[in-house]
Structure 1
């Protein structure tokens, strides 16, 4: 592992100028890029359901389904962006191309808002008398949404590994991840508050126009910093093909008796040190064991699907070791998705007035989660970590941060259940059951404690997850590493929908009018599932051994 990493560093130095590229000089360019692209993305995604209902006469359920598909694309597709970056183009090319694609998609959305021919006739009440969009209008809309979604997917989690690669020390990489998440959440909150306000109160054209401008500005800033970045040449092939070769070769040789001597295994000729095959998943060592006819007279591989390097075998093993921890992220994200799914429904049934003249939009409650996440990251990075470094010998490892985030998310679900129980008691005391439009006389700001726990928990576990996977993934898959976090978030959106459907079929907890249901039981269910998942996380993290490190990674990094 260490030898492979040093080889990459040599490639980097050869492609750099006389001075060493990378470092903190790249930070303003990369973070400003993230800010511009996040503002643009939040500007069109946050209010998409309202746009589809008001401008395209879609039914609310249909609009919600389109919204879920968009969320799925933007959170699952980043894995493809990481694969392309690792295999062929590199991070820099993937980011600028994806930024251009997202700008094109948002511009097409702007055209749908500005040109009447690209949308159906206006319909105020959403009744059956409304004109449905034509086939051509649907095609134009979906092409715009697809381009904008693919653009987000190609940039959001590819910027992270490129930014981290500019730094040599793990502790500096961890600091970058903290600020990366901070800017991401802060800009998303700003766009949710201000660009959405422009769309609702001025015009969709102006709102989407601001989003396009932010996207183009982010792209321009990113390109302006090109000469400062540390670049790595593309590998000219997919590392995932190499992983597949390991499996195929191991299966072909599964009956071959293995040797304990290192020289009987094939090593990359460019390696200056000899990597010893580990005993974990020893079966896979067959793929690197040299048998007759596997190599040419010059020592190179003659049958690529029958012989692999020890490094490739160890890369696959490291991914297998990570899978149990990765799986624990599915349920923690599902809890958060459930919170987001039910938050608006709660807010719609509560008193949202702030003074006599202003009523907070139910969808804007999401801003509090984003702001608390930003606050938590700021406190962790600027106060907690410096305090621990100065007054103690203890530093938080990525997995410890994830564990703290797990526990706070469980507490969030418990508080959500208690607040919802109180809301239902007030609804019953005022005899509001069965009244469709009844508002419970309880301030929406009772939801703030659970939103605070949600946001603070994300401030711990989200950067912790990203730093952990970037640190532990094989060198050849660094660009894919941070997209793994996005992948389990995307899957969690669909798991959340499955859980909601299951609850609706098996109980009366989630009727259309939540005043008649027991949403508090749903939160208790999430709390229970989260607790079981937390125990599972503690077990698998206890047995996990950090790559190439016998001690805690941040302890080593800080020396």
Structure 2
């Protein structure tokens, strides 16, 4: 397993066999844990490596933090307000803009999985991170050009003209999509690999704890800055200045990364564990016609002989034959005359013969796929909620404060409410609710219990969105403004924070629960795939939410471009029902699932 993949943004917290949320919570949000880790490293570093190496550690942490901040501010500043940018500057209908936003968010979520595989299998982390951050600079430069050059945007709509707005030309949309494409490439190479590259610089777990804590703290801090400060500049000053500030942040981040080039460790590339999974599928397919008789009469491949076979609790005697589940895959490890196994255990045709351990690893992934699939629709519902909340906020009163101190919250900044809800919920879980649970039951809640609780809260979040939208639409009807797409309801947009808070609380339960479940249940060679599994859930959720909106638009009249004449609450009620049904499917999968490593 490659050094790049072995620590793929997986918390170095407690992985002691008992399901625990505290490792993820401390990693993401616990400043007290961060201070403790720094103090521990200070004590050990002074004694073992001296002042110079301690200074190098802090310098690298700060360089990595600056690079992360620059990249995070640039990406979130462009992505958070993309839907509003499409509506106001490119005259894209509101629902179409929401669908485009979902597609882009899905790309940004899925691309890092491909970037991690490329780094693991071919180039290593640093080259991929450096190139991707250069693409980040190019991305926001393109966005800045689209905002500053009038020829790259359609003519603005004229209020009160009564005629349709001029749509963007193919060339103008191509320029915008070029920036979006560069953003996706940037996310592919940097989002996971930057944390892994940082972890590769240190030998001790304490040092890596410091790095991971700083990395994720700065990651979320940069997201908040991009979603508030940059979005505010875009909305109240100018789009050009907002994107220019993002470009400057990206340049600073790239410069910080390049400044430490000569000092970075660059571990050798050893290949991606995803390659092993693909080899099992290919080998089993190629041997599908091989006759399988009783296990005792077959010879299976276990790889090259090595010492310490039992270090993970598996002696060679335990692996004489693969398990009976998914037995059709056992052919991948079955030795035949055509496989060319050398005396030292090496294989001439690795895409025809795999080890028993690789086959069992693949089976572990298959066993957990039903639970994984049950989480996809959570992301579908959340993806719809995020983008339509922005559209709702555009036609609601976004002012906060009293008298002359009133402040208008940008619609693109509403997502910060969900992020803050995640932070607060994780803190409450770690410091209050989980200790109470332990005192009451004597043990931690299992990952499946946490995920299930997240499902229930997400159902409540969708129902809250439906109730609030129904009230907003009733206000438009009471004022006789249903036919006016530009009318802004006097109803406060702060009501939208309630479903966002519930959604964030649900995410604080099911997201870390999924990471814990996958990390606990996957075999050692596939621990890194836990993060990849969650990333794919988020990406598929955004893509499928786009498809769902398309189906609803074709089958109903719920989603016209005029939000004041929409029936968006019907879509939210539909999501409430579907998420509830999905919860029933999850409960069935959870009931049938048997933990493989609960005590290890």
TM-score by length of 1: 0.80
Q: Report the counterpart of residue 410 of structure 1 in structure 2.
A: 459
Cα distance change of structure 1 residues 185 and 74 upon mapping to structure 2, 3 Å threshold: same
Q: Report the counterpart of residue 108 of structure 2 in structure 1.
A: 74
Q: Report the counterpart of residue 381 of structure 2 in structure 1.
A: 335
The 10-residue stretch of structure 1 (169-178 or 242-251) with the greater mean CA deviation from structure 2: 169-178
Q: Does 1:46 align with 2:92?
A: no
Q: Aligned partners of 1:174 and 1:279: how far apart in 2?
A: 40
The answer to whether the Cα contact below 8 Å between 2:390 and 2:411 also exists between their aligned partners in 1 is yes
Q: CA deviation at 1:195?
A: 0.9
Q: CA deviation at 1:450?
A: 1.2
The 10-residue stretch of structure 1 (387-396 or 340-349) with the greater mean CA deviation from structure 2: 387-396
The answer to whether the Cα contact below 8 Å between 1:86 and 1:234 also exists between their aligned partners in 2 is yes
Q: Report the counterpart of residue 307 of structure 1 in structure 2.
A: 353
Q: Aligned partners of 2:331 and 2:185: how far apart in 1?
A: 39
Q: CA deviation at 1:209?
A: 2.9
Q: Report the counterpart of residue 505 of structure 1 in structure 2.
A: 554
1:474-531 deviations in Å (ceiling 9; x for gaps) = 5555555423322222222232222223333333433444444443332222111111
- Residue correspondence of structure 1 range 119-268 to structure 2 within 5 A: 119-120=152-153, 123=156, 125=158, 135=171, 139-159=174-194, 183-222=218-257, 232-236=267-271, 239-251=273-285, 252=287, 254-261=289-296, 264-268=299-303
- Residue correspondence of structure 1 range 108-127 to structure 2 within 5 A: 108-114=142-148, 119-120=152-153, 123=156, 125=158
The answer to whether the Cα contact below 8 Å between 1:199 and 1:205 also exists between their aligned partners in 2 is yes
Q: Aligned partners of 2:66 and 2:439: how far apart in 1?
A: 30
Q: Aligned partners of 2:378 and 2:210: how far apart in 1?
A: 23
Q: Report the counterpart of residue 368 of structure 1 in structure 2.
A: 417
Q: Aligned partners of 2:117 and 2:396: how far apart in 1?
A: 45
Q: Report the counterpart of residue 462 of structure 1 in structure 2.
A: 511
The 10-residue stretch of structure 1 (56-65 or 323-332) with the greater mean CA deviation from structure 2: 56-65
Q: Aligned partners of 1:154 and 1:231: how far apart in 2?
A: 16
The answer to whether the Cα contact below 8 Å between 1:174 and 1:467 also exists between their aligned partners in 2 is no
Q: Report the counterpart of residue 328 of structure 2 in structure 1.
A: 283
The answer to whether the Cα contact below 8 Å between 1:101 and 1:148 also exists between their aligned partners in 2 is yes
Q: CA deviation at 1:246?
A: 2.1
Q: Report the counterpart of residue 22 of structure 2 in structure 1.
A: none
- Partner SS for 2:124: helix
Q: Aligned partners of 2:443 and 2:266: how far apart in 1?
A: 34
Q: Report the counterpart of residue 30 of structure 2 in structure 1.
A: none
1:150-204 deviations in Å (ceiling 9; x for gaps) = 1023222444666778899999999998986665444323212111222233343
Q: Aligned partners of 1:216 and 1:339: how far apart in 2?
A: 33
Q: Aligned partners of 2:527 and 2:408: how far apart in 1?
A: 46
Q: CA deviation at 1:338?
A: 1.7
Q: CA deviation at 1:219?
A: 4.0
- Partner SS for 1:442: strand
The answer to whether the Cα contact below 8 Å between 2:2 and 2:269 also exists between their aligned partners in 1 is no
Q: Aligned partners of 1:129 and 1:525: how far apart in 2?
A: 32
- Residue correspondence of structure 1 range 512-523 to structure 2 within 5 A: 512-523=561-572
Pick from 370, 392, 398: which aligns with 1:352?
A: 398
The answer to whether the Cα contact below 8 Å between 2:235 and 2:410 also exists between their aligned partners in 1 is no
Q: Does 1:483 align with 2:532?
A: yes
Cα distance change of structure 1 residues 542 and 91 upon mapping to structure 2, 3 Å threshold: farther
Q: CA deviation at 1:539?
A: 2.7
Q: CA deviation at 1:410?
A: 1.0
Kindly report the root-mean-square deviation, in angstroms, between the aligned alpha carbons of the 2 structures: 4.2
Q: Aligned partners of 1:475 and 1:536: how far apart in 2?
A: 29
Q: Aligned partners of 1:493 and 1:423: how far apart in 2?
A: 25
Q: Report the counterpart of residue 15 of structure 1 in structure 2.
A: none
The answer to whether the Cα contact below 8 Å between 2:2 and 2:270 also exists between their aligned partners in 1 is no
Q: CA deviation at 1:132?
A: 5.4
Q: Does 1:419 align with 2:419?
A: no
- Partner SS for 2:71: helix
Q: Aligned partners of 2:196 and 2:565: how far apart in 1?
A: 47
Q: Aligned partners of 1:422 and 1:53: how far apart in 2?
A: 24
1:408-466 deviations in Å (ceiling 9; x for gaps) = 11111122222233334444455544454444443222222212111222222233334
Cα distance change of structure 1 residues 322 and 96 upon mapping to structure 2, 3 Å threshold: farther
The answer to whether the Cα contact below 8 Å between 1:181 and 1:463 also exists between their aligned partners in 2 is no
Cα distance change of structure 1 residues 437 and 250 upon mapping to structure 2, 3 Å threshold: closer
Cα distance change of structure 1 residues 168 and 97 upon mapping to structure 2, 3 Å threshold: same
The answer to whether the Cα contact below 8 Å between 1:120 and 1:131 also exists between their aligned partners in 2 is no
Q: Aligned partners of 2:459 and 2:501: how far apart in 1?
A: 13
Unaligned runs of 5+ in 2: 7-47, 310-315
- Partner SS for 2:491: strand
Number of corresponding residues: 536
Unaligned runs of 5+ in 1: 10-17
The 10-residue stretch of structure 1 (146-155 or 107-116) with the greater mean CA deviation from structure 2: 107-116
- Residue correspondence of structure 1 range 369-388 to structure 2 within 5 A: 369-381=418-430, 384=433
